[in-house]
Structure 1
Amino acid sequence: MSGGSDAAESRDRSPLRTDLTPIVDAVADADADAFVAVGDRFDDDLRYLTRFAGPDRPSALVVVPVDGAADRAVCCAPSLFREQAEREFVASARERGSDGRADRFHDGVAREVRTERVGDHAGERAAGLVRDLIGAGDDGPETESDGDRTLLVPPSIPHDAAVYLERAGNALASTDAVATARARKTDAELDRLRSVQRAATAGMARAETVLAESEVGDSADESVGEARTEDRRRPPLRWEGAPLTTERLRREVNAVLAARGVRDAGDTAIGAGPSAADLHFVGDDPIRPGETVLIDVSPRGPDGYRGDLARTFVVDGDGGWERRAYLAVESAREVALGEIEPGATAASVHGEAAAELGAYGFDPNAGEGEAGFTHDTGHGVGVSLHESPSLSSGTELRPGHVVAVEPGVYDPDVGGVRLEDVVVVTEDGCELLAEYSFGIVPRERE
């Protein structure tokens, strides 16, 4: 898709809206008084709940059920970012009624932004807001108990924020309601995920093209310098007149991602030879002919959603270990995708993929640093690169779950092979969010 088409698609997208009613229901089900989250723009739970992509200074969210009236959600934001918080947290959640006025919230939870007491810690501000919204037993200082209240909080709440809330007389109870809500994606979320995954395919195409254009170096060429090692490994590939390394290739990929309007987020992992057995290698290694080159591209889009795509290539291979490993992993991927459907357990996907790798003679239960399959078959993808559901859990897959399927086999002395795609669970199976071709021999894709 061209850049112009991407821009048009972006303008046509519906706004991201988070339904806060599961949070309200969790408070009621736990017989608690409110829900509180504290974090900055790097806290994925808070960003999901508020859609506020503010600064690296902490903000807070308080959600309070209200009997006989609209439930309330209040975002405590830094004062300099009030306009942005109003736009992203409040305005985007409004919808127009039959009279054309945008005076209703899509989920019935009334939202507002507050910016007072900006000098206080976000935990203090949240504690004060709880007092304001629920009512305190007295007018004493917030560092003393002012009533018996129970607040639900996500497991990610910072320790210092939890201390401020507890000092104000609140008992805290952890909830998985946010993780559960995040696991199933809306159509608007799927739009973002598809877009960033397409950007990942563009980055992968660049990497594959560079590998296809590279040349096998002359072992007698002194310019390879340190590459002429005593282990008799072949000299690095050469591209545009210089040895090709994982860092050079990573920069080519990241440049394409930037041109597509997404960030690499420091997660473009490229390993070659033995470093391809390092699951997420981000160092600098020579790329040599005959060795596996494992490329894992995991960009973050402008709305926070992540992509995840992995392929493995070999330039001038001899069809040995790497070819057998590639066939095994490709087959395991197909088996895993065939297992994904509503009602299947996530763990069954992992079990089938592992069994397939075992049938090819690879250890399906290898430990870290051993040869074989050393990780789960996959994980959920959303605002976080790794979120619920894990494909080793007992979670029952349901439509809207988005998972990365990534079987792989590794040998620390030789290399690694991994193939990864992101799919959404549908009513009758699963759908790839973006397609990218297969083949261990790289081809020019641009």
Structure 2
Amino acid sequence: MNDGSDDADSRDRLPLRTDLTPIVEAVAAADADAFVTVGDRFDDDLRYLTRFSGPDRAYALVIVPADDAGGRAVCCAPSLFREQAEREFVASARSRSADDGGFHDGVAREVRTERVGNHAGERAAAVIRDLLGGEDSEPTLLVPPSIPHDAAVYLERAGNALASTNAVARARARKTDAEIDRLRRVQCAAVAGMARAETMLAESEVVEVESVEDTDTERRPALRWEGAPLTTERLRRAVNATLADRGVRDAGDTAIGAGPSAADLHYVGDDPIRPGETVLIDISPRGPDGYRGDLTRTFVVDGDGGWERRAYLAVESAREAALAEIEPGVPTKTVHGEAAAELAAYGFDPNAGEGEAGFTHGAGHGVGVSLHESPSLSGAGELRPGHVVTVEPGVYDPDVGGVRLGDLVVVTEDGYEVLAEYPFGIVPNERE
């Protein structure tokens, strides 16, 4: 009996592809002639548009609307990467209908490798002249704000006028079902990493160790796990190993702080972990298709119920208040405002500056191919179905520590869905 799981697995393995129609429409709406961007595999806009993950050197993408409908998209790839570009940029965008050899969004794609010794901006300018026709025209090109300066100079020298557009950011903000699936898978790996870290904290024992303060040596309590001191670096390595076992990369973004370093929003140093101090764990892996996860929890081993307990209750309440506001049409600032108001009700400064005690950042942000992308929960705009955001309120005291709780949620037609659940609790438990 076939339960359909084989078909589902087959669909899951299909490559991601991007609908370029919004870019074509943006060009037409601006009365421009083409869209151009230049970057490499580390440029998230370009990777999103092309689904081409290959070159670590600059290449260009040119998109030109057609007279009737659809358009043309040309990827100016390095010649050594032509086969990969044909596979990832062209073949993966073909219509999956057996009797249709066109492209899924009506935008015809091709790869060009001419003029490989020239700058990517020069190659893009040559493609524009070819597609638009004529040496005497002065086309207007839409470019993303992040286009490299040297590429912009080459395009302008070729007689093109440049106009900035946020069309790519808008397109990236609302995720397709396939993108949400990738995000969910990466977030599940983050859950496994968090479970590993929490279990190690739960299994650790409190011991007395020698500590040097200035010139004095004293014995202070610290945590030991499996016969060796437990430090933030040791915990980070265990988390990253778990992520690797699940096919994702830590991307250098596993941030773990303990005590005062937990007030550092992205701490990646090596500190001893001591009882009674907050241990803030922020896991943000990257999956094979480039999509990110983002999960944060805070724990205390052998706490005394002081500042850290009050901070945890405040942040937990702020998270619930923020989530209660998430639905289509809600201004993003409302989500941040509700979280901030809840923290203020617990006596924490909701508008603290960097390095001050209190709430020092926004309540959350979009997550996709980039760890931070549109929409911002403290910026302008409204929530829409398909937005994927991390909701992560926190409070910090540079002299004591920090508490943050964060989850990745997708905005649905009538509310939200947490992409991968993880338990709460300031006291660590064995989760594996």
Q: TM-score range by the shorter chain?
A: over 0.9
Specify every segment of 5 or more residues in structure 2 that has no aligned partner in the other structure, as ranges: none
2:124 corresponding residue in structure 1: 126
SS of residue matched to 1:196: helix
Answer whether contact 1:311 1:419 (CA < 8 A) is retained: yes
1:30 corresponding residue in structure 2: 30
Give the Å deviation of 1:229: 8.7
Larger mean Cα displacement after TM superposition, 244-253 or 63-72:
63-72
For normalisation by structure 2, the TM-score amounts to 0.96
Q: For 2:395 and 2:216, locate their aligned partners in 1 and report how far apart those are by CA, in whole Å.
A: 27
Answer whether contact 2:328 2:414 (CA < 8 A) is retained: yes
Specify every segment of 5 or more residues in structure 1 that has no aligned partner in the other structure, as ranges: 138-145
After superposition, the Cα gap between the structure-2 partners of 1:417 and 1:233, relative to the gap in structure 1 and judged at 3 Å, is farther
Check if 1:354 corresponds to 2:352: no
SS of residue matched to 1:344: coil
1:249-279 deviation digits (Å, cap 9, x = unpaired): 0000000001110000000000000000000
SS of residue matched to 1:388: strand
1:210 corresponding residue in structure 2: 200
After superposition, the Cα gap between the structure-2 partners of 1:131 and 1:231, relative to the gap in structure 1 and judged at 3 Å, is farther
Q: For 2:382 and 2:338, locate their aligned partners in 1 and report how far apart those are by CA, in whole Å.
A: 15
Instruction: Give the % identical residues.
Output: 82
1:273 corresponding residue in structure 2: 259
Larger mean Cα displacement after TM superposition, 24-33 or 224-233:
224-233
Q: 160, 171, 178: which is aligned to 2:150?
A: 160
Matches within 5 A, 1:6-45: 9=9, 12-45=12-45
Matches within 5 A, 1:398-409: 398-409=384-395
Matches within 5 A, 1:37-436: 37-68=37-68, 70-97=70-97, 100-137=98-135, 146-218=136-208, 221=209, 224=210, 226=212, 234-436=220-422
For normalisation by structure 1, the TM-score amounts to 0.93
1:30-86 deviation digits (Å, cap 9, x = unpaired): 111100010000000000000000121111100001213641001111111111111
Q: For 1:280 and 1:229, locate their aligned partners in 2 and report how far apart those are by CA, in whole Å.
A: 30
After superposition, the Cα gap between the structure-2 partners of 1:230 and 1:290, relative to the gap in structure 1 and judged at 3 Å, is farther
SS of residue matched to 1:104: coil
1:74-115 deviation digits (Å, cap 9, x = unpaired): 111111111111111111111144xx2350111100011111
1:273-297 deviation digits (Å, cap 9, x = unpaired): 0000000101111111100000000
Q: For 1:9 and 1:299, locate their aligned partners in 2 and report how far apart those are by CA, in whole Å.
A: 23
SS of residue matched to 1:81: helix
Give the Å deviation of 1:13: 4.0
RMSD: 1.7
1:189-242 deviation digits (Å, cap 9, x = unpaired): 001000000000000001001111111012xx4xx4548996989432111211
After superposition, the Cα gap between the structure-2 partners of 1:26 and 1:232, relative to the gap in structure 1 and judged at 3 Å, is farther
Q: For 2:227 and 2:319, locate their aligned partners in 1 and report how far apart those are by CA, in whole Å.
A: 37
Give the Å deviation of 1:10: 7.8
Give the Å deviation of 1:410: 0.2
SS of residue matched to 1:343: coil
1:395-434 deviation digits (Å, cap 9, x = unpaired): 1111000000000000000000000000000011100000
Give the Å deviation of 1:171: 0.7
Equivalent position amino acid for 1:59 in 2: Y
SS of residue matched to 1:236: strand
Q: For 1:20 and 1:41, locate their aligned partners in 2 and report how far apart those are by CA, in whole Å.
A: 18
SS of residue matched to 2:74: strand
Give the Å deviation of 1:177: 0.2
After superposition, the Cα gap between the structure-2 partners of 1:134 and 1:231, relative to the gap in structure 1 and judged at 3 Å, is farther
1:111-134 deviation digits (Å, cap 9, x = unpaired): 111111111111111111111111
Q: For 1:228 and 1:206, locate their aligned partners in 2 and report how far apart those are by CA, in whole Å.
A: 35
1:142 corresponding residue in structure 2: none
What is the total number of aligned residue pairs between the two structures?
Answer: 426
Give the Å deviation of 1:136: 2.6
Answer whether contact 2:89 2:109 (CA < 8 A) is retained: yes
After superposition, the Cα gap between the structure-2 partners of 1:232 and 1:396, relative to the gap in structure 1 and judged at 3 Å, is farther
Give the Å deviation of 1:147: 2.9
Q: For 1:160 and 1:405, locate their aligned partners in 2 and report how far apart those are by CA, in whole Å.
A: 37
Equivalent position amino acid for 1:183 in 2: A
Q: For 2:218 and 2:45, locate their aligned partners in 1 and report how far apart those are by CA, in whole Å.
A: 50
Answer whether contact 1:347 1:392 (CA < 8 A) is retained: yes
1:440 corresponding residue in structure 2: 426
Q: For 1:229 and 1:386, locate their aligned partners in 2 and report how far apart those are by CA, in whole Å.
A: 43
Answer whether contact 1:308 1:422 (CA < 8 A) is retained: yes
